[in-house]
Amino acid sequence: MNIAVLGSGTIGKSWCALFLAAGHHVVAYDPDSAKKEGITDFIQASKSALRRLGYQSAGLIERFRFVQNPMDAVQGAELIQENAPERLGVKHQLFSEIEPYLDSQAVIHSSTSGITLEELQAGLSDIGRIIIAHPFNPPHLIPLVELFGNQETKPRVIESAREFYESLGKVPVELQKSVPGHIANRIQAVVWQEALHLAQEGVASLSDIDKAIANGPGLRWSIYGPNQLFSLAAGDRGLEGFIEHLGPSFQRWWSSAGRVEINSKTVDMVREQFKKDDKDISDMKIYRDQILVKILEAKIAMRDNGKPEEE
């Protein structure tokens, strides 16, 4: 497939690497010519991880082009993955530039995390051709893609998007209703809020709370979601049995969960309590991605061996 990737920051370059790895032809657009090197470096750096995950074409740079004009990127493309800065004006300007050059069947998948589909549609004439397809960082490794289309969306656009991301080995989840932050960012938000709340209350430092999550519930959430995990914990009656048994405890924890405001007090606490790791940020990202690959490899191997799957 011919794919145009518009905007080549953290998200855009990761999509480029993945689309190439899955055998597609990719044209990336960014107004900043310096981004070209950033993308090609990333394609190279992510090659071995993607090959380990079974992407035979990872690193096939000859299928990649970089352009500084969005019209050149979209012409002949069947799919446009849009990752422009998260400002509505910028995205509308981009849409007005590319729309006259789009193939009649071309669809736009926006990676936006914060702009609604209705707001995006307002910048196009043919509003049925755009959906939200929000990835999770780093997109070349994390399987989740959150999809959203509304009543204006053309038939089969969502279904084709689902098939497309599945063909990439991704796990698309379709939202039935627009909500700020989709699913995953909202879940992240409540976790962070309670972490900040517990630290503000003096229960533990932010670093210790991080340690508790990554060595406790976080380990299990990489395998199953909370409902599935809880359904394993209460015998034959599954999730309903769990609610009967532990509902009152959860009710108590919910009622004492905290609300946090982003203000100078919060920033001061973060400055005091979050022990900046003495490791390099890039080393930590490498560590994160190497463990991610190990987990994904383990899941793929168990699936291929006919062991129980996670979904």
Query: Which residues, numbered 37-96, are part of the site for its own copies (CB under 8 A)?
Result: none
Q: How many helices (H) and strands (E) does the chain have?
A: 14, 8
Among 73, 70, 76, 72, which residue's Cα sits nearest to residue 92? 70
Q: Which two tokens stand for residue 84?
A: 């422009």
Q: Scanning residues 238 to 267, which ones bind its own copies (CB under 8 A)? A: 238-240, 243, 247-254, 256-257, 259-262, 266-267
| C-alpha distance from residue 38 to each of 44, 82, 113, 134, 293 (Å) | 10, 17, 22, 22, 22
The side-by-side arrangement of strands in the sheet containing 144-148 is 64-67, 25-29, 2-6, 79-82, 107-110, 130-135, 144-148, 171-174
- One character per residue 129-168, x = contact with its own copies (rule: CB under 8 A): -------xx----xxx-x----------------------
In the complex with its own copies, which residue's Cβ is closer, 87 or 285?
Answer: 285
Please name the residues in contact with 188: beta carbons below 8 A apart, sequence gap of 6 or more.
Answer: none
User: How do strand 107-110 and strand 130-135 relate by DSSP bridges?
Assistant: parallel
Smallest separation (angstroms) from its own copies to the CB of 276: 6
Smallest separation (angstroms) from its own copies to the CB of 142: 6
237 contacts its own copies (rule: CB under 8 A): no
In the complex with its own copies, which residue's Cβ is closer, 125 or 253?
Answer: 253
Q: Scanning residues 92 to 121, which ones bind its own copies (CB under 8 A)? A: 113-114
Smallest separation (angstroms) from its own copies to the CB of 74: 29
- One character per residue 165-184, x = contact with its own copies (rule: CB under 8 A): ------x-xxxxx-xxx-xx
- One character per residue 195-234, x = contact with its own copies (rule: CB under 8 A): x--x--xxxx-xxxxxxxxxxxxxxxxxxxxxxxxxxxx-
In the complex with its own copies, which residue's Cβ is closer, 62 or 280?
Answer: 280
The amino acid present at 244, given as its one-letter code, is E
Smallest separation (angstroms) from its own copies to the CB of 13: 15
271 contacts its own copies (rule: CB under 8 A): yes
Please name the residues in contact with 304: beta carbons below 8 A apart, sequence gap of 6 or more.
Answer: none
Query: Which region among 38-46, 57-65, 67-75, 190-198 touches its own copies (by CB under 8 A)?
Result: 190-198
Q: What's the chain's length in residues?
A: 311
Residue 268 C-alpha from the chain's centroid: 29
Among 66, 64, 75, 3, which residue's Cα sits nearest to residue 31? 66
What number of chain residues touch its own copies (CB under 8 A)?
113
Q: Which two tokens stand for residue 144?
A: 């989740």
